[in-house]
Each structure stands twice: as structure tokens, then as C-alpha cells.
Amino acid sequence: MELWIQTSAVVFQNEYAPQFRQAVNAVMRQASSDSKYSNRLPNIWSLVYASASVRFLVFIILAIGLTGCKSEPPPWRLSDISGHLPDLEFSLISDKETQVTAQTLKGKLVLMYFGFTHCAAECPLAMTRLVHILQKLGEDADRVHILFVSLDPGRDTPPVLHRYLASFDSAHATGVTGNEEAIVELVKRYRSAYRPATDAGAANDISHSAVVYIFDTQGQARLLFSPADPDENLMSDLLHLLHESP
């Protein structure tokens, strides 16, 4: 950064300063010259042209200013994605066979996970971890909700989802399913991988994301929790999110 500033200062001195000096001189000459020239307007364009270099300088100063006054780093230990992913928005069928939208979950922290009930390894593991962390949160857990989005709508009917979630923690989790288009739309919205199994027999091979998307109480995407992050990081960030002023 410093090197860059130095170089740009040198560039400024060598390239732009003479132009500027010339332009100012020209204007001064015209202003102070005798009547033969005084009825002519000062050459404003040369000044404006020179001001391009002034703009350049202002830009550099601004750039230094912006990088210089960095505010305190946010407290997040997980990957902070605030402002980079769109707000939560969907309309799907829950495991209790009711329509669920993002509005239904307003006021709660949402932990969204894409998975399917026939998933052998990652999904049960991720769900177990999330439920475990929720238990540790105690009373605060009531303001956190797990949203399990099924990527296998063909087999994950609401009753199947309900039974699946009951084995974890049905009070703090909702499973949602729906038609394939709605699910693909949600997947695309969060840039998650999803390839439906080509034939029913190989359904264990649905590729999907490993990450848990964390939305704040207003439905804004805030953090990503990856399987590699330790539980404590998720705990501390959830507490921060729960107790930040909206």
C-alpha cells in the first residue's frame, strides 16, 4: 500500500504537476495581460484538464482515508457474509404439512441446511451437531430455529421429514419440502450445489452443500457455519447475533 502511494506521488509529480503548473500559468498570463487579450475568457478548459490530475490526487487521499480509518473488527468467528447473500425468502411445505414462508420464521435466528433424509453421512452429523449446540444455548434456543430444506422432494414427503426430525429435536427444527422448481430456486439463491440423483437407486449421491446458512432475526443472511468450524465458534456467534440490537 505504502509503496503504491509513493509511486503514485512520484507519478503525480512527474506527470501531472507540470501540466497543472502550465495551466495555472496560462490562466494567470491571460488574466494579467494587456487589453489586447483581456477580452478573451481565461482558458478554463486547461484548468479543468489539469483538475483531472487534482481528481487523481483526491482519489488517492480518499483511498488512504478509507483504508486508514478501519473500524473495529466485528466479533464474528464464523465466515461473515453480511450483505453478500439475499434475504431469506421461500414458500414451501413444512413437515407438519403447513405452508411455511420466511415471514413465519421472522423474529428467530434461522439456521438453514440443505439435505435429505436418505443422506448417509453429512446430514445426520450436521443435524446432531446443531441440535447439540441448541441444547447448550438453554433458554436462548427458543429464539433459534433449524430449517432443514429437503433436496429429495420425491421421497421426503412431510410425514417422512417429520419422523426424521423427531429423532433430533422437532421443537426447534422445521423440515421443508415442495416441488423441485421451488427448491432449485432456493438452492440457486444461496449458490449451493445441488444435482438431483439421475436414477432412484443412486439417490444417496445427491450432491449438496456442507454449510449452514445463518440468518438474523430480520431474515438477513449473516454467517456461514462450516463443518470445520468448532462448536464454540457457532455458540459465541449465535449469542452475539441474539443479543445485538436490531
Partner 1 sequence: MEVFLWFVPWEESITFIAVISVVAILYINGCAECHPPFRQKLYFWVGLVSLYIVSQTQFEYYSEHEFFMHRLQHVVLHHFAPFFIALSRPGAILFAGMPLEGKRWIRTILQSRLAQQLLAIVCQPVIAVILFDGLIFFWLLPSIHFIAMIDWRLYRVMNWSAIITGLMFWSLVLPPSPQKSAYRSAGCRIAMMLAVIPPQIVVGALIFFAPQELYPIYTLCGRAFTHLDPLTDQQIGGLIMWIPASMMSVIGIMLVISNELRQPKRVMSK
CB of 207 to partner 1, least distance (A): 5
Residues 68-127 contacting partner 1, CB under 8 A: 79, 81, 83-85, 114
Contacts of 158 (CB under 8 A, 6+ apart): 93, 94, 95, 96, 97, 175, 177
Q: Read off the C-alpha cell for 139.
A: 433458554
Least separation in angstroms between CB 209 and partner 1: 4
CB 81 within 8 A of CB 212: no
Minimum CB distance to partner 1, residue 38 (Å)? 27
Q: Which is nearer to partner 1, 70 or 243 (CB)?
A: 70
Residue 101, strand partner residues: 91
Q: Shortest distance, CB of residue 77 to partner 1, whole angstroms?
A: 15
The distance of closest approach from Cβ of residue 226 to partner 1 in the complex, given in angstroms and rounded to an integer, is 5
Choice between 55 and 106, CB closer to partner 1: 55
Binding mask 198-227 for partner 1 (x = CB under 8 A): -------x-xxxxx------------x-x-
How many chain residues touch partner 1 (CB under 8 A)?
Answer: 23
Binding mask 181-200 for partner 1 (x = CB under 8 A): -------x-xxxxxx-----
Please list, in sequence order, all residues whose beta carbon lies within 8 angstroms of the beta carbon of residue 207, skipping any fewer than 6 positions away.
Answer: 193, 194, 195
List of residues contacting partner 1 (CB under 8 A): 52, 79, 81, 83-85, 114, 188, 190-195, 205, 207-211, 224, 226, 228
